[in-house]
Structure 1
Amino acid sequence: MLILRGKQTALIASLIAVLIFSTFPVADSTNVFAAGNQVSATTCQEPAWNASTVYHGGDRVSYNGKIYEAKWWTQGEQPDQSDQWGVWKFIGDCGGGVEDTEAPSAPGGLTVTGTTSSSISLSWNASTDNVGVSGYDVYRGTTLATSVTGTTAVVSRLASNTTYSFTVKAKDAAGNVSAASNQVSATTKPGNSNEITRRYVAYASTWNTSLYDLTPGNIPNYITNVNLAFARPDTTYQKGSYEFDQAVAGFEFVEGATTSNGQKKLTPQQAQDLRNHIAALKARGTEVWVSVGGWAYSQGSQWSNFNAQRVVDLALDLGASGIDIDWESSGSSCNKLEASQFQCTKDGEIAGIITSLYNEIHSRGVNLKISIAGWSTGAYYVKGTPFEEGKVQWGSPFGGTMYRVVKDHGDKIDFINLMSYDAGDYYDPREGYESYRAIYNGPINMGMEIAPEGSGGAILEVEAPPGTVYDAEMLTGQNNIASRYYNVETMVNYIKNKGRSYDGFMIWQLWKQRVHQPAPAGAATENSAGQYVCRNLPLAGDCNQTIPNLPKLTP
């Protein structure tokens, strides 16, 4: 081995550089040999990044002579490895480096490229930026309609035969936002579509049911989302295989269930029929999502082996509109400290799940959204807030377990399905809603479970007891019995009057009585609960439609 030292090394390096520059001219020679260089950080005022330190949103560090700012909770993620979707935002160079405050240019040439009875398609010319454009926000009037990374967008869930106006703004990784583009207007085609701003999400168990149950005739059109429950977090699904059975995907339809006689497999025709049913529901205005996890798939090592690529492949092959993360992993305990120090033992697991899924979706440029199932008490027990233990329900084993992921990664989540049930008579669903709203600006869908509940013993009814005031006796700092407020009427009144215009409802679940047991006398049913929400929130659609009585099936 030939070993060169000192001036010999420097001389040879200089000769190589001369040859490279003379043979392969480049526009900006400052980038040559940049990879691998360790830039001096002696002039940095920010503390040096440390792999073992926990950082929270807004914390700044220096690394290789550059300044980075954390967007959310992180530990061990190297700053210079973050892209526009990563945890670290590049601020500027140390020692006189100027923070990026220059906004991108305004998008130009915004045009309408197509319309349907419920959607309008748009395209525009790319913006420029001194560092780089990270994405575009599309506005319907003054309301943010959607965010994309490319130069096209489809704004959906619009009313038929209605005129809308749109503009687009560009943004960069430093958070600078451009001026608005030119404004365009378009009118949707005639039809019977109503503009939808509130969701009604229905989880649909796949056990004891058939894939042929998932038809528009069986699912009322006021249901905006059907969440197929459940897919395996550790699925081994291969794109294009269409193996939607229990062993591979996790779904337990009778056509593909695991039985005492072995694993049943969907035929190619059955797999295609399932995809066709999902497409028919989507065309009707009801999105179908893949819900991952659930209690049964959360009690082993499934989540530690979560595979975002396989889950995305599964959702795309089904034609799904999004992926719902129902992380019900037990054993996470929280320190119950102030917000800046609050953490739970499994924060890293759920943060990793959401981040890897978000990155997988955006790196592939596919049109999938993300929701999470929020534990009833998941945002509780933060010291110094109205949701300290004792001010709200005592002793929930899941208290606070969703706090960090929602607070630190909420920008990756399109909406939350709040499991405001299974928590007993002392749990107040209105306080549960407010605990999430305090840390999350996106839509929250208030949850209802058809009795009997899985735990807790509360019974959901439609009407409130006589004399009930929908916003009374909450956030009083006392852990009072709240059963009189756990009814559809009170929760609808609260969301309608105290919530936001885009908050909605969720129900567990579409086939609850069918696959479990009848609701107690006087309790709400799937139809009575859904119809009340539809008529009084209200929802778009025909509030008289019902879920039919279908038999419980065995594989």
Structure 2
Amino acid sequence: MRFRHRAAAGFATLLLPFAGLVGLASPAEAATSATATFAKTQDWGTGFEGKWTVKNTGDTTLSSWTVEWDYPSGTSVTSAWDADVTSSGTHWTAKNKSWNGTLAPGASVSFGFNGSGTGSPSNCKLNGGSCDGGTTNPSDSAPSAPGTPTASSITDTSVKLSWSAATDDKGVKNYDVLRNGTKVATVTTTSYTDTGLTAGTSYSYTVQARDTADQTGPVSGAVSVTTTGGGTDPGTGGDKVKLGYFTEWGVYGRNYHVKNLVTSGSASKITHINYAFGNVKDGKCVVDDTYAAYDKAYTADQSVSGVADTWDQPLRGNFNQLRELKAKYPNIKVLYSFGGWTYSGGFAQAAANPAAFAASCKSVIEDPRWADVFDGIDIDWEYPNACGLTCDTSGAAAFKNLMAALRSEFGSDYLVTAAITADASSGGKIDAADYGGASAYVNWYNVMTYDYFGAWDKTGPTAPHSPLTSYSGIPKAGFNSADAIAKLKAKGVASSKLLLGIGFYGRGWTGVTQAAPGGTATGPATGTYEAGIEDYKVLKTSCPATGTVGGTAYAYCGSNWWSYDTPATIGTKMTWAKNQGLGGAFFWEFSGDSSNGELVSAINSGLS
């Protein structure tokens, strides 16, 4: 989500500089009573995700482990988690972290990494000895991926899963069934009934085969299952979510207040508001601008209720205005959003202790002064295990762990949501974190399907910042809404948990000589608050749309080229969202709309 300043929606996958990592100690004494097996869990052509699993097969505790292997020239590790990995030429060494080196008899531990190239590991050693049945034996390949499971006999508490068999040169021994990325069963057949589930809850299932040498192959595709019962929540089969972000700082230069939601007519056409942004400091949720949040006094004509604030009333500011709005429109739910582009650097420390972070967030939201205002929490981490304003190295599982802790702390009575990347490029930001696994803990994701292109690329090429679909000449593959939604579905996120993002603003260049997309430029066009960006309410008259591309609008006026959504293109996007079975739509942010709320109206009518 944009916060005062904004750069690109997301580009390169995080690469860890292995040359700068601390060197490893010498391999420990050979331990032939342990195995190390390799599996390629994802493959996107030019790169892949790999996983090593170390298992103690002996009867004494293993105090540490070091795995070594060789890659052919052109194949390398680019980032890793849950192990310290270094290289010497084509020889790679991985040593346990301080917290996962001890393995009791029968226990196992895995570490993963992203790699480039197409080669396979060879000459595997574990603690200086043989890896004992690892994939280094060319005569014993790992099994193939099973077929994507199909779900049947779904009840409030159970689901039956079936899948087509995997293949292996020496034979498949059994299958691991994974629910939300965690193994829940090992079976010898190609079906399994999972029980003890929660009614009205979404789960993601995959399957992984094991051969007779206990090697695991790649995981299958994911199937998303929602159990029956449990009532109907917005975004999971009931009314479509129509959510807008209200910015805390908008009450200053933008002079946009909660009452504007009433006067514009928007309040009667939305279901949810995300209040942005709370800060993340020292691993905890905190209120950012306390004056705007709960101290600023409103006169009678400025307030939603028409009653002036007094000097001694317990709560003023935006929080009190939201309270008054909810009294007037009881259907509206309000979530407190933490993070954003500027404040996401604090999530790394939060991810180190998710339970403490979740507890701090709940204490903010349940502060007695405004405990009735907020109905949930929204997390806007830009971006887990990838780069935004700063680069995060918390690991692929950090986001899932954070969302699990929030759901555990807040329970089922609160909404728990997250704004997430829409970078669907191969090996991009969607691939950097476990959004599929984390989806089990959220009510929905706000997929930020905007800011794909903009004048941070000063010379262009000109391109729409929020394309619905790809088009001939698009500057980067995977940078469009349809690809992002498809990729998230493929990772096991239910359609009903995905909201399509709409920007109530345009991005533009100047020095452009052609009207069609793909032109060159000399820099960002002038904007009211920031170069290269302007509100819809300004652009609709200053530079009216002259064409459409990829399901969104663009405008060429003078030497300026802008892209933005109009009521017509929003209508197209809402039809698409309904056809995809999405949970609804959200937008950034209210103050960019016209005074009569025409973009909110387009979302409302398009989803109705």
Report 1 or 2 for greater relative contact order, CA contacts < 8 Å, sequence distance ≥ 6: 2
When you count strand as a share of all residues, which structure comes out higher? 2
